Each structure stands twice: as structure tokens, then as C-alpha cells.
Amino acid sequence: MPRIRAVTTAVPEHRIDQPTAREFARNLFSKSTPDINRLLPLFENAGIETRYFSASPDWFAAPHTLAEKNLMYIESATALAAGAARQLLDEADLRPEQIDYVIYVNTTGLATPSIDARLINVLGLRPDVRRTPIWGLGCAGGAAGLAHAYHHALGHPDQRILVVAAELCGLTFLADDFSRSNLVATALFGEGAAAALVTGDALQSSGLEILGTKSRFYPDSLDVMGWSVVASGLQVVFAQRIPAIVEANAAEDFVAFLAGHGLKLKDIDRFLIHPGGTKVIEAYESALNLTNGHMDLAREVLRDYGNMSSVTVLFVLERYIRQYGFDRGGHGLISALGPGFCSESLLVRL
């Protein structure tokens, strides 16, 4: 079966701690929100200590056009994605020309040609390398990218697939939007990039063996999560019922997925789940009856980086690999939620 052979990550240069973000929000939102102090505890309750951004707080405090934001997206996403990919090639001891297929994932910026085309130039990949950009899956995109790589590798067992995700969630902040959703995003979102190498079965190597994938779409839920495109950029859409959806559906969805592989929830040794926020993590714990630190890695990534949309689940995966390595035995479940409303999941042998 195809394997996840390596995962690497990268973050932009501006490191912002949560108290700094809290004061940024107080100064900006107090202009139109007289009771801002009543809302600010959400920064402490977010479970986040630090995040990283491509621009300073002063830059975000000023209004910017969609064109200005998108230019920063193209430049920063290309640099971050290339940095993560170079590190991946080094760790896997591969030359750029050994990559056969590039899957690029994002939801926070627009580029045509897409960033994967730029990566071919920057990294020196082969001119005949295949590429697929995936846009619009939000937080589910990282898991979806791995799933697409898995299905390609099933049909091309001698190929190496580079999955790259880069998200600049800070660029979706709107300085003139004083909605609660924008305030929550200010307390939650971060930026980063990650790269993963998936190899086909003919290329024998250590790694997390992918046993199968599952997509789940929730009908009539388009308003749960996403962006509204406005003149000044992408305006965040958050529904308060996301944790309730998790609590109501996660167990049933995972049980059905695992049953197809002759497994039960109790057979999963590691839950490598996208940490959308503390309430989402708690909803998974409640729905799946998780104890004994099953969601510790998710909490650690949320604490250190915030929610980086599609990239975040890959940070969780990278942290697992660095702490525990490969070939430990047992099973892991990789999963993330995204706009649609939907989930993308992978079953792996650890």
C-alpha cells in the first residue's frame, strides 16, 4: 500500500504571542464594540500561546485591497511552500527530479498560474511533472491532499507524490469587519506551510502505510464554514454549531469507515485530528470517548501555531512522526473538517 514517508513544516517570520494578539483586537474592535472587554476572554480560552504571520500587526491594522493581500499571498506562500518542500527532499534524500506529481492545497489566496507551477520553477522539478492544485477545502484540504496522493499512488505504484499545503489565514482578516466571526478568527488563525511525501507500493520504504480513505459530506450545511468574497478580501464564516456537528456525527462516521476495514474505534491507537479549536477538540473527545491524552498532539499544535486551515493536520502528523517514528504497529486515524460542510479521513498503519 502507499505510504506517507515524510512530513515537514515551515512558518513565516513574524511570531505573535496571544497577549499581543489580544491587545491588537482590543485596540481595533473597541472602536465599534463598546463591550469588547467582555469578549476578549476568548483569547485566553482559545488554547493558543503563539502564532506566526507573514506581516506585522501594524500591517494588519491598516486596510488593504484584495490585490495587495493576494500579492503577499503569492510571495509568502511560494517561499513557505518551497522551504517546506526543500526540507522534505533533504530528509528523504531525494533529488527534485525524482518527484513525479505535485498536489498543492490552499484556500486563503488566489494565483493563476497556481503556486504549484511556481514551485516547479523554484525547486527545479522535472518539466513533465504532473500537478494538481486543490482550492476551497479549507481545514479539510491537508487530509484531502494526502487522500488524493494515495489514490494516485494506487494506480502509479512506482511514483513519488509531493503534497504541499500553504495557508496565510491572517490575510483573511478584515480591518473594517467588527463581527464576532472576525474577532474569533483574530484569536484563532495562524499561518504556515507543510509538505508530505507519499510513495507508491513499488518504492519500498518506511512510512505510515495508508490503508484507505473516506470523504463525508453533510447536506444542507453550506453556511457552516467558509469565506464570503467581499471587495476587500475573504470574510470568514464560522457557525457556532461546529462542535455540535462533531459530537453528533464523529463516532458514527468513524465507526462506518473503520468497519470497512474490519476495525473498531478501540483499535485506533492514535487520533491525528485537525485541531479546529478547543471546543472542537473537546467535542471529539466527548463523541469518541477519548481519554489518556489521545488528543494531546492536536492540542500542542493548536497551542504553538493556532489554526492554520489545511496545513494544521499536517503539523499534527509531522509532530507524531518526529516523536514516534515509523513501524510502531497499530492503527492511526487522520481526519479534518472543512467547508461544505465535510470531513476527509485516512486510516494508516503506524
Q: Which amino acid is at 207?
A: G
Q: Which amino acid is at 108?
A: T
Fold of 3-199: Peroxisomal Thiolase; Chain A, domain 1 (3.40.47)
| pLDDT tens column, 321-336 | 999 999 889 999 999 9
Q: Is 139 a catalytic residue?
A: yes
In the prediction, which pLDDT does 39 show?
80
Fold of 208-349: Peroxisomal Thiolase; Chain A, domain 1 (3.40.47)
The average pLDDT across 266-289 equals 92
- Domain(s) of CATH 3.40.47.10: residues in the chain: 3-199, 208-349
123 has pLDDT over 70: yes
In the prediction, which pLDDT does 15 show?
96
- Residue 334 DSSP label: E
The average pLDDT across 238-260 equals 85
Catalytic residue among 28, 139, 168, 187: 139
228 has pLDDT over 70: no
Closest listed residue to residue 9, CA positions, set 315, 228, 257, 250: 315
pLDDT, mean over the chain? 90
- CA 327/CA 4 separation, integer angstroms: 12
pLDDT-based confidence at 186, cuts 50/70/90? confident
Highest mean pLDDT among 27-36, 64-73, 216-225, 303-312: 303-312
The residues near 326 (Cβ < 8 Å, ≥ 6 apart) are 206, 207, 208, 350
222 has pLDDT over 70: no
- CA 276/CA 341 separation, integer angstroms: 14
- CA 60/CA 158 separation, integer angstroms: 46
CB 4 within 8 A of CB 161: no
In the prediction, which pLDDT does 114 show?
93
| pLDDT tens column, 25-74 | 888 887 777 778 888 888 888 899 999 999 988 888 888 888 888 899 99
- CA 226/CA 72 separation, integer angstroms: 21
Residue with cell 485537525: 274
If one compares 204 and 155, the residue with the highest pLDDT of the two is 155
- H or E element that contains 257: helix 242-259
Distances (CA, A) of 187 to 17, 47, 51, 145, 156: 10, 10, 10, 27, 42
DSSP per position, 82-116: HHHHHHHHHHHT--GGG--EEEEEESS---SS-HH
In the prediction, which pLDDT does 188 show?
87
In the prediction, which pLDDT does 254 show?
95
Give the three-state DSSP class for 76.
helix
- CA 226/CA 111 separation, integer angstroms: 19
225 has pLDDT over 90: no
In the prediction, which pLDDT does 57 show?
86
267 has pLDDT over 80: yes
Q: Enter the C-alpha cell of residue 46.
A: 482559545
| pLDDT tens column, 68-77 | 888 999 999 9
Distances (CA, A) of 65 to 7, 107, 165, 350: 34, 18, 24, 45
The average pLDDT across 160-172 equals 94
